[in-house]
Structure 1
Amino acid sequence: MKTVTKFLTTTPATALFGISVLILFLLVGIFTPVIAPYGETEIAGDQYEVWSETFLLGTDNLGRDILSRLMYGTRNTVGIALLTTCITFLIGTFFGMISAALGRLVDQVMCRIIDVLMAIPSLISALLLLTILGTSIPVLVGVISLLEATRVFRLARSVSMNVIVQDYVEVARLRGESIWYVLVKEVLPNILAPLAAEFGLRFCYVFLFISALSFLGLGIQPPTADWGSMVRENAALISFGDITPLLPAFAIALLTISVNYIVDWFLHKASGLKN
């Protein structure tokens, strides 16, 4: 109890707000099948019904309950974004550390490949690849993971280069330790703080990336609920002064702001600053 009280009194209000919102979204995503009034693809009423006791947020262009679709969208959009971010970091961190550790020719080749991938805007690359390969969820996750891993690679390589030259790493090498031991035991623990902060920021970028692709019709495909596609499907209501299409946009903005608050707090804690 004392630990909880100390946490609540020492944590900034912005961080508490971000943590609360993130927990709320996670709970909604986990328990959506239990708490959602209707099914994800269930046509429960007429098209574009107004807000009422039956449909708290009205219905969409096909008569599906907006509130239920928002709940299922939490599970789909956030879940896929989290999975994509995890794969992104596995790829980017692994190759970033390998590049820093091996150096010379390997480092030069890998950096030039990353430069080529980063030279083309991510959205254009994603649109091109998804048009060629298809828009299934595995392809979507793979394409975004590959494109976003280039950013993680640059960070992981940069911070690993600073650790590789330290004396304790040289001692481990002189002991005859393998490259994998050096990377896992000596390098990785010392670069976790910047990587953890980057994970939060990269999650926001991936989350917004998926929403943008869905809005353009190349992300998560119907009838799967997704916040980006929900904005596109109900955009016609804006012309009539209905704010329903803005609800998924508000959810996207709220989650992005909340994660950034948490990342800012984490960076402040990791820096060791008191104020």
Structure 2
Amino acid sequence: MEALTPLAILARTLAQFWPVWIGLALILAVSCARRRRLGLYGRIFYTVIGTVGFTLVVFWALTAILADHVALFDPYAQISALRNKPPGSIDPASGLPYLFGGDALGRDVFSRMVWGSRSVMVIAPLATLFAYMVGIMLGLPAGYFGGWLDTVLSFLANLVLAFPVILLFYLLVTPEIRQTAIPGTMAAVLFVFPVLFFVMFFWSRFRERPETLWFYLGPTLLVGGFVYLGVIGVWDPTGRIAMDANTLNIFLAVVFISSPTVFRIVRGLTLDIKTRDYVAAAQTRGESPWYVMMWEILPNARGPLIVDACLRIGYTTILLGTLGFFGLGVSPESPDWGSTINEGRKLLRVYVHPALPPALAIMSLVLGLNLLADAMREQSLRD
């Protein structure tokens, strides 16, 4: 069978993303129609930069969710007849095209690019969220109370930040680390912070109303404790929570490296906001320190934190790609973008098509996150 023409490849590629286009159109239509009621989120649709950035990010998020409907082949399936074949080559057995060609092992580059979005869109946002909870739980009291607590926590944060990021990342995810107690200890310490965050969040608000407090705190402790025990590998009866060793190491490395920077940002914002009149008013009312931190300071720091979160997810995406490029990705056969680029670069002078699509995917996602962060920064300054 003859290969597809470039125009046919483009048309088939766009058509293959049909569920993503439908979901994206619905989200954009609803968001634009109700943007006046959606606060900071709605205001990003008043700018072209914000709309473009949001579109790129949501495109890849929906691609990750709908990967099994978008991809044409199993990302691990090997068809020897299509090894290093150019884009548009047809599989003789199924009659389906390898839209972006085949790699050195005869796997579909397009399908691997689509499935590779899942590891990025799961690990990068979740690890960034966990890092923020760690940074918030340490940065708020450091900036609010000051003194020896601020000195100790700032010293520890600066100690981590003084180490070269890529080298530290590399050391934390090497296979030798898995044979030590370091991953388990780091998981037990770092993963307790999200539970503490929600416990303090509800306790500081409802501590004088026990019935309401336990209405929120009960499920938080039950679900949070169950997930915590599963993630650290102590108890997981469902078998769906515990991460494999590679994923856990990468996740821990992202949280550990990102937390000190988040800590410094939260601490700096707290030092500034705690001098405001509404904080003094809350203190005069006799509110507890944690209430002031969680319900007065943190909400008023949300603008810079949201902007930094978008940028940080982009940085994490690049780091994940870098790890995959060095052969330290989620797994050796994983279709994650960094690993795919690494495999494609070995024959880059002869075959460009295996390495180019995942590289463009990383570029477009990071570009979208940066544009989204710029739009949010512009809108948050108007608050």
TM-score by length of 2: 0.67
Deviation at 1:174, TM superposition (A): 3.5
Contact 2:132 2:259 in 1 (8 A): yes
Deviation at 1:34, TM superposition (A): 2.0
Q: Deviations over 1:43-85 (max 9, x none)?
A: 2344222222421111122211111100000111222111111
**What residue identity is the alignment partner of 2:116?**
G
Distance 1:158 1:90 in 2: 16
Distance 2:34 2:72 in 1: 38
Q: Deviations over 1:3-44 (max 9, x none)?
A: 836969973333222222222211211111122111131223
CA gap 1:88/1:241 in 2 versus in 1, 3 angstroms: same
Hey, what does 2:240 align to over in structure 1? none
Aligned match of 1:230 in 326, 340, 343?
340
Structure 1, 241-250 or 227-236: larger mean CA deviation? 241-250
Contact 2:314 2:369 in 1 (8 A): yes
The answer to whether 1:29 aligns with 2:29 is no
- Structure 2 portions without partners, runs of 5+: 1-28, 36-42, 91-96, 179-244
Hey, what does 1:242 align to over in structure 2? 352
Aligned match of 1:122 in 141, 165, 170?
165
Aligned match of 1:48 in 84, 93, 101?
84
Distance 2:255 2:107 in 1: 32
Report how many residues are paired: 273
Hey, what does 1:112 align to over in structure 2? 155
Hey, what does 2:46 align to over in structure 1? 11
Q: Deviations over 1:208-249 (max 9, x none)?
A: 111111111123222221001100011123211524312111
Hey, what does 2:177 align to over in structure 1? 133
Hey, what does 1:254 align to over in structure 2? 364
Identity, in percent, stands at 27
Deviation at 1:261, TM superposition (A): 0.9
The answer to whether 1:221 aligns with 2:221 is no
Contact 1:37 1:68 in 2 (8 A): yes
**What residue identity is the alignment partner of 1:48?**
N
The answer to whether 1:20 aligns with 2:48 is no
Distance 2:337 2:160 in 1: 28
Aligned match of 1:154 in 264, 276, 281?
264
The structure with the larger Rg is 2
Hey, what does 1:76 align to over in structure 2? 119
Contact 2:45 2:51 in 1 (8 A): no
Secondary structure of 1:238's aligned partner: coil
**What residue identity is the alignment partner of 2:360?**
F
Contact 1:38 1:44 in 2 (8 A): no
Contact 2:172 2:249 in 1 (8 A): no
CA gap 1:38/1:189 in 2 versus in 1, 3 angstroms: same
Distance 1:112 1:209 in 2: 25
**What residue identity is the alignment partner of 2:120?**
T
**What residue identity is the alignment partner of 2:106?**
G
**What residue identity is the alignment partner of 2:66?**
F
Contact 2:44 2:376 in 1 (8 A): no
CA gap 1:90/1:6 in 2 versus in 1, 3 angstroms: closer
Hey, what does 2:6 align to over in structure 1? none
TM-score by length of 1: 0.92
Distance 2:164 2:63 in 1: 34
Q: Deviations over 1:175-197 (max 9, x none)?
A: 33222211111111110011000
The answer to whether 1:205 aligns with 2:305 is no
Secondary structure of 2:335's aligned partner: coil
Contact 1:43 1:64 in 2 (8 A): yes
Hey, what does 2:22 align to over in structure 1? none
- How large is the RMSD of aligned CA atoms in angstroms? 2.2
Secondary structure of 2:74's aligned partner: coil
Contact 1:77 1:207 in 2 (8 A): yes
CA gap 1:2/1:108 in 2 versus in 1, 3 angstroms: closer
